[in-house]
Amino acid sequence: MESQIRRIGINVISLIEFLKKEKIYGSGKINFIRIKLLSKGFYSLGQVPFNFQKFSYSDFISDFENILNCLILTIHTGDYSGIK
């Protein structure tokens, strides 16, 4: 039970961080492509140009997965110095 609560908490914190960064990177315009990218876990105007015409979404680590993995690693190592 405790591990499920921890997992939910990590996912919620990661989602909040993802949305905060999307607010910074996003253009403010709502369109189909932006919604599709966000639903796949990628920033709509991210710093890394992904070629989704040539490659599949699953070929990349999404921005959300990156935040999630960094948070999990931080919790397991106990090094909270990088969290702002």
Confidence (pTM) = 0.64
Q: How many domains does the chain have?
A: 1
Backbone conformation region of residue 28, classed left if phi is above 0, alpha if psi is from -120 to 50, else beta: left
| Full 3-state SS string of 12-25 | HHHHHHHHHHHHHH
Instruction: Output the pLDDT for position 8.
Output: 85
Domain with 65, as residue range(s), is 2-77
Q: What is the mean pLDDT of each run of 10 residues along the chain (84 residues)?
A: 80 84 72 78 73 82 84 76 58
The answer to whether 61 touches 43, Cβ cutoff 8 Å, is no
In a domain, 30, yes or no: yes
Question: What is d(CA 84, CA 82) in angstroms, rounded to the nearest whole number?
Answer: 6
Instruction: Output the pLDDT for position 68.
Output: 86
In a domain, 84, yes or no: no
